[in-house]
Amino acid sequence: MTAERVVRWVVAAAASVTVAGCGEEPGICTLTDADSQASVVWDVPQFPAGALYRLCVDQVCRDATRVDRDAPFGTISVFLPEATGEQRVTVRFRVADPVDGRPVYDRSARVTLRKSTPNGERCGPTVWQAGLRADPERGLLDAR
């Protein structure tokens, strides 16, 4: 499996839980849950060991300091409980050196939250999500 395919798989898993849709009979739905969120995935070896990661979506931020160095990819998500429809948000992903706190990566992108219905159109929940990939040379890219 190529690195790009693995990245797409990780982002899809982090950004949306995908299972079979609603049952054949009305009112019978799977019990899959999901949240509105924006996620970023990155290639762990491209950043310093022990790096400090921060993801902000508009004014909501989340930090991550423990990333498994043996894992090929890292991921971080910011949950957006107020997201109720397709909307544009600003996503900022920053990676800081663990020794001096100096940013080694600091990129922003405007993205549109897209509708996701992991249990099918006839069943809840309906959530709004975006998935990005952090590329050291090209910035934040749509993970689709």
pTM of the model: 0.77
Q: What CA–CA distance (Å, rounded) separates 10 from 110?
A: 21
Q: Which residue has the tokens 């309906």?
A: 126
pLDDT digits (tens, 9 = 90+) for 68-88: 888 889 999 999 988 889 999
pLDDT digits (tens, 9 = 90+) for 124-141: 889 999 999 999 999 999
The answer for residues whose C-beta is within 8 angstroms of residue 132's C-beta and 6 or more apart is 11, 38, 39, 40, 41, 91, 93, 109, 111, 140, 141, 142, 143
